[in-house]
Amino acid sequence: MRQTLLTKTLDSLQPPFIKDGITSSILNSWVKDTESLRIYVFLYCIQYGDEILVKSLKFSWSALLLGLSLCTTLNTQAAIAQAVDTYTIAGNTFQKNGVVTSWRGANALHVFGGSSNDMNSWGVDIVREFIGNMRDTPLTGYPINVNGTYLYSLQNIVNDNRVNGKVTILCPFGWDGTSATEFLGQNPSKTAWWKSYKTKFKTIANQFKNQPDVWFEVWNEPYWYDRSRGYSDTLWLSDMKAMVDNIRSTGATNIVLVPGAETGQDEKVLLAKGPSLLVGRSNVGFDIHAYEKWLGDTQRSVENRIQAVKNAGLAVLFGEVAPLNAGTLMNPINFLAAARAQSSTVSAWLWKYDETDPDALLKADGTANDNSNNNWGSTYRDFTLNR
C-alpha cells in the first residue's frame, strides 16, 4: 500500500520536479524501489516546502543524506551538462555553433514559478527572464519566501529553459523588489545600490560562466526617456564599461547584452559610443526596446535604422516590443515586418495569461490574446512560427 501511495505521489510531483532539471529518463534509471521513491518525494518536499509530507514519510538519516547527494549531482549533471552548444558574437552577428542565427523570444516571469514548455507550440527559442528583486532572488535551490512572494532560483529557471531548448537571458529589473529601486530610467552608477549590484552580478556570473546558453543583460531600460536627469553619452559609455568588465572579471565569457539610452529605446548612443565599448571586449551585444520611438515608423524606416546599427559593426537584438507603452496603444506590425526582413532577434513583452493586459500574449485559457490590442497575441504568434 505504501509503495502504491508513493508511486502515485511521484506521478503527481513529477512535472514540477522535472522543471528543476531531472528528466524522466534519469528518474527511471534510479527510482527503482521504495527507498528511492521516498528520497524523491523528500527532495520535492525540501524544494517546495511541504513540511507535513516530509514528516509523514519518516526518513532514515541515510536516506536523507543520499537524497541530498542525489539532488546536487542530478541537478548538475542532468541540466548543466546539456549546455553543449556555443553562442558567440562575430562582427554584427549572433552565432550558434559558428552559424549566424536569430531567435524568436518572449519575456517571462518564471522567477515567480511556471515552466517554458508552454512556449514550445509558439516556436519560442529564447526567453528573457525578469528579475525584479536582484538582491534576494536565489541562485540555486528551492524557492524562498520574500515578503509573501515566492522567488524561484535562477539555476532552476535556466535548467527548465534548457530542457525546453531555449536560450536564457537573465536581466535585472530592480534591486530589492520595491518601486523605489526599479532600474527603469536610472543612471546605474548614481544609484545607492551600485556597489551591491556589482557584487551580486559577480555571483550570478560565477554561477553561469560555464553555461554558454545563459546570456547576461546588465540593466533593464536605464536613463530617462528624454536624456535629462544628468544623462550623457559619456556616462552611458562609462557605466557600460564598468558593468561589462565587472562580469568579465569572473572569467565568464557568456554573451553580455547592454541596453541603449532613453529607457532602452535609443540607438543613437550605440552608433556614437558602441564601437568604443567593444574595444578590447568580446561577446558583447546590444539590446534595443521597440516602443513608441520605433512603432510609429514605416517598415522601411525601421529596416534602415536596424541596418545603420549593423553597419557600425554592432550585433543588435530587440529585447522588448509590445503594443501598449506609456498609455499609448500602437501597432507593432511594421516593426515585426522589418525585424523579419533584417533577420533580427526579437523578444516580446509579455508571456502572460491575462486578457485584461493588452501586452499579455495569451488569454487565461491559453489562446492568443487579441483583446483590444491590435491583435497582439496572434500577430506575434504568426511572427514566431513563420520565419
The DSSP-derived string for 221-247 is: S-S-TTS-TT--HHHHHHHHHHHHHHH
Q: Which three cell numbers stand for residue 112?
A: 515567480
Mean of the pLDDT values across residues 258-283?
Answer: 98
Q: Mean pLDDT in the chain?
A: 86
Q: Which range has the worst mean pLDDT, 69-78, 115-124, 220-229, 378-387?
A: 69-78
Among residues 98, 103, 96, 89, the alpha carbon closest in space to that of 313 is found at: 89
Contact between 261 and 231 under an 8 Å Cβ cutoff? The reply is: yes
pTM for the model: 0.82
Q: Which domains does the chain have, with CATH numbers?
A: 2-82 (no CATH), 87-385 (3.20.20.80)
Residue range 53-85, pLDDT digits in tens = 444 444 454 454 455 445 544 454 455 556 589
Q: Is 266 helix (H, G, I), strand (E, B) or coil?
A: strand
Mean of the pLDDT values across residues 333-359?
Answer: 98
Contact between 322 and 379 under an 8 Å Cβ cutoff? The reply is: no
pLDDT (0 to 100) of residue 84: 82
Q: Is 283 helix (H, G, I), strand (E, B) or coil?
A: coil
What is the gyration radius of the CA atoms in the chain, in angstroms? 22
Burial (Cβ within 10 Å: 0-12, 13-18, ≥19) of residue 95: middle
Among residues 216, 223, 311, 195, the alpha carbon closest in space to that of 258 is found at: 216
Q: How far apart, in whole angstroms, are the C-alpha atoms of residue 96 and residue 93?
A: 10
Residue range 167-223, pLDDT digits in tens = 999 999 999 999 999 999 999 999 999 999 999 999 999 999 999 999 999 999 999
CB atoms within 10 A of CB 15: 10
